Amino acid sequence: MRFEPTPTEIINDAQTSFAVYDLQKIQSEPSFSLSALYDGPVSTTWKQSPAPISVSSVVGGTDQLSGLLVSVLRNEGAAQRVIYTHQLPWFLLIYYHTVTLTCKDLSNGQKQIPTIRKQFFAPAVTRKRPALIEWEFDLPRNAECRLQFNFEKAFLRSAC
């Protein structure tokens, strides 16, 4: 790759290179324009590495009045301290006493007990503020953790 104008310095890192421009030394024009030109064809294929941590959530239930929200945090790498944050609309009334966090090892399915560092709950204010749940805990290595709780839907009245 070629740059115009030529950079003041090029810094090479293990995986990337950086072109550095000292704008105080480049005083030829009041504006600065940079262009990069490729020397040959550009490869558009790249290999995406799998994410070490993934999060997914699903809502379950058998009726329109209540339900269960389950969030699955999957860690295929080293143990990590994580903060799980979930903001929920005011019309989902959370049963805070039903919040549970369970973990199991991905290789043998054995139950693991995560270290819970902090818990924070801010209840919703009807038609004004959503509910907030924050849990800080140690996500074990090579594990899948499920944080779940029950909720009820508030009655939504019509504005008519």
H helix count then E strand count, the chain: 0, 13
53-153 sits in which CATH class?
Answer: mainly beta
3-class secondary-structure state, position 39: coil
Q: What is the mean pLDDT of the chain?
A: 88
Convert the pLDDT of each residue in 148-159 to its tens digit: 999 998 887 776
| pTM greater than the 0.85 cutoff | no
What pLDDT, on a 0 to 100 scale, did the predictor assign at position 155? 80
What pLDDT, on a 0 to 100 scale, did the predictor assign at position 85? 96
Sequential DSSP letters for 9-36: EEEE-SS-EEEE--TTT--SSSS---EE
Mean pLDDT of 36-43: 82
What pLDDT, on a 0 to 100 scale, did the predictor assign at position 13? 86
What pLDDT, on a 0 to 100 scale, did the predictor assign at position 69? 95
Domain with CATH 2.60.40 in the chain: 53-153
Query: 140 to each of 54, 108, 113, 137, how far by Cα in Å?
Result: 13, 14, 8, 9
Residue 19 forms beta bridges with which residues? 10
> CA-CA distance, 133 to 131, in Å (whole number)?
7
What pLDDT, on a 0 to 100 scale, did the predictor assign at position 3? 85
